[in-house]
Amino acid sequence: MSVDGAAPGVEASGPYYRLRVARVIEETHDSKSIVLDVPSELTDRFSYHAGQFLTFRVEVDGHRLVRCYSLASAPGLDPAHKVTVKRVVDGRASNWMNDQVREGGELEVMPPNGHFCLRDRATPIVLFGGGSGITPVISILKTALEKTSRPIKLVYANRDDRSIIFKDELSALLAKYPERLEIVHRLDDVHGFVDAARVVAEVGSGTDADFYICGPGPFMDVVEAGLATLGVAGDQIFIERFESHESSAEEAGPVDTSAGNRVTISLDGKQTEIELGEGETILAAARRVGLEPPFACEEAYCGCCMAKVVEGDVEMLMNDGGIDQRQIDQGWVLTCQGIAKGKVSIEYPD
Ligand SMILES: Cc1cc2nc3c(=O)[nH]c(=O)nc-3n(C[C@H](O)[C@H](O)[C@H](O)COP(=O)(O)OP(=O)(O)OC[C@H]3O[C@@H](n4cnc5c(N)ncnc54)[C@H](O)[C@@H]3O)c2cc1C
């Protein structure tokens, strides 16, 4: 797991830093927390807001994989950065993180990112967490309890009792804040799946609140449906999606390459030249021809798909925080937003 060569905290490859694993905590039968040691010279670079995530690059069976994991720790309240990884059936990175990461090892990590953060308001907060979706939610929960006086309700869905991550920590918070905090556990094997009617019942007349949702796709869909039934305005609803969008590569139709834009992509030691379609992003083109570059959100906020421009001009359609000015100045772009102007050459980090 460890990366040879540089000391921890030294910028590894492009946007990644090597951080030491301070501790590994067994949370449930299928999830572990990884506590990271952020050296003092990186304190500013790794400062974060409750609800943000870290992007990790790991090597599994010879393949480089880039994955985001939300910080379950709360900034200023918990002593160290902590992420919690739940195994996904046949999932490459999640199982590797659970099986291979050891105390004292090193991981390649990008600084914190993301917009799923606590909004500054005085209204109550309603949190919906499903499975591993509890990670950013508990960070927001702890922060809101400590730093605001807002009433908070958490509806937390899990398959069964043994799958409840942070069960003891949540019980302790309940004991500390009995007047302001309400926690509803929903277990699939006891209560059945959460549906829109259950969401309506849990929220009741309390619609003047901010709603934070994170969990499996179908769970988030029913929560959104329930909130829509209650007439909750979209600007009161905040959602973090863990799963990538459907493959845009498979959805792509015929490509018009008459504009003459071309990209040469260096990925995993191999160079591939591709003719780009009109308005086609570099990421989409790479995937269209069968390459497997790293990506996750495809919405310019996670930073997973970052690559360096070594020749030519690449324009980004947007940047929703996935890349910072310093990285842009160094020549990095988000390939999910990158449009080549003429002939360009880009390199994914080694
Ligand atoms: C912003 C963000 C924050 C995240 N935070 C966390 C976190 O705190 N804890 C955590 O455990 N995960 C989190 N994830 C999900 C994580 O990044 C990976 O997607 C997940 O660990 C699966 O990766 P994998 O390599 O194991 O699976 P892969 O090998 O990529 O996928 C294997 C199979 O599982 C499916 N799959 C992929 N992702 C998921 C998923 N999340 N749930 C169910 N099926 C899936 C795929 O379609 C595929 O069929 C987060 C994702 C994002 C975008």
* Distance of alpha carbon 29 from alpha carbon 117, whole angstroms: 29
Is the shortest distance between the CB of 33 and ligand 1 below 6 Å?
no
Contact between residue 72 and residue 123 where contact means Cβ atoms under 8 Å apart: no
- The pLDDT of residue 64 is 85
Least confident of 159-163, 189-193, 247-251, 289-293: 247-251
* Distance of alpha carbon 113 from alpha carbon 304, whole angstroms: 11
> 3-state class of 31 per DSSP?
strand
Helix (H) or strand (E) holding 284: helix 282-288
Length, in residues, of the chain: 350
* Distance of alpha carbon 167 from alpha carbon 302, whole angstroms: 28
Span 262-279, average pLDDT: 94
Take atom 38 of ligand 1 and give the residue whose Cα is closest: 243
When pLDDT is cut at 50, 70 and 90, the band that residue 223 belongs to is very high
* Distance of alpha carbon 313 from alpha carbon 336, whole angstroms: 15
* Paired strand residues for 313: 341
Structure-token pair, residue 239: 């959602």
When pLDDT is cut at 50, 70 and 90, the band that residue 11 belongs to is low
* Those residues with Cβ within 8 angstroms of residue 233's Cβ, 6 or more apart along the chain or in another chain: none
| CA-closest candidate to residue 348, choices 331, 340, 339 | 331
Span 209-223, average pLDDT: 96
Span 224-233, average pLDDT: 97
Q: Compute the distance from residue 341 Cα to the ligand 1 centre, in Å.
A: 33
pTM given for the model: 0.87
* Those residues with Cβ within 8 angstroms of residue 18's Cβ, 6 or more apart along the chain or in another chain: 3, 6, 7, 8, 9, 10, 12, 106, 107, 108, 109
Out of 32, 34, 84, 88, give the residue to mutate to test ligand 1, the one with the largest number of ligand atoms within 8 Å of its CB: 88
* φ, ψ for residue 163, nearest 5 deg: -90, 0
Is the shortest distance between the CB of 93 and ligand 1 below 6 Å?
yes
Is the shortest distance between the CB of 55 and ligand 1 below 6 Å?
no
Contact between residue 15 and residue 63 where contact means Cβ atoms under 8 Å apart: no
pLDDT at 241 over 90: no
Contact between residue 84 and residue 72 where contact means Cβ atoms under 8 Å apart: yes
When pLDDT is cut at 50, 70 and 90, the band that residue 1 belongs to is very low
When pLDDT is cut at 50, 70 and 90, the band that residue 251 belongs to is low
When pLDDT is cut at 50, 70 and 90, the band that residue 256 belongs to is confident
pLDDT, one tens digit per residue, over 82-104 is 999 999 999 999 999 999 999 99
Q: Compute the distance from residue 86 Cα to the ligand 1 centre, in Å.
A: 8
- The pLDDT of residue 8 is 52
Ligand 1 atom nearest residue 136's Cα:
8
Instruction: Print burial letters for 40-49: b (CB count within 10 Å at least 16), e (below 16).
Output: eebeeebebb
Take atom 30 of ligand 1 and give the residue whose Cα is closest: 91
Is the shortest distance between the CB of 88 and ligand 1 below 6 Å?
yes
| CA-closest candidate to residue 141, choices 166, 160, 113, 162 | 166
Q: Compute the distance from residue 208 Cα to the ligand 1 centre, in Å.
A: 32
- The pLDDT of residue 247 is 47
Q: Compute the distance from residue 194 Cα to the ligand 1 centre, in Å.
A: 21
Sign of the CA dihedral 317, 295, 134, 114? negative
| CA-closest candidate to residue 8, choices 34, 33, 43, 38 | 38
* Paired strand residues for 309: 346
**Starting from the edge strand earliest in sequence, which strands make up the sheet with 53-60, in order?**
63-70, 53-60, 106-113, 17-28, 31-37, 81-86
pLDDT at 344 over 90: yes
When pLDDT is cut at 50, 70 and 90, the band that residue 12 belongs to is low
> 3-state class of 99 per DSSP?
helix
Q: Compute the distance from residue 125 Cα to the ligand 1 centre, in Å.
A: 26
- The pLDDT of residue 249 is 52
pLDDT at 284 over 90: yes
pLDDT, one tens digit per residue, over 192-205 is 999 999 999 999 99
Out of 94, 115, 305, give the residue to mutate to test ligand 1, the one with the largest number of ligand atoms within 8 Å of its CB: 94
Q: Compute the distance from residue 115 Cα to the ligand 1 centre, in Å.
A: 18
Q: Compute the distance from residue 71 Cα to the ligand 1 centre, in Å.
A: 14
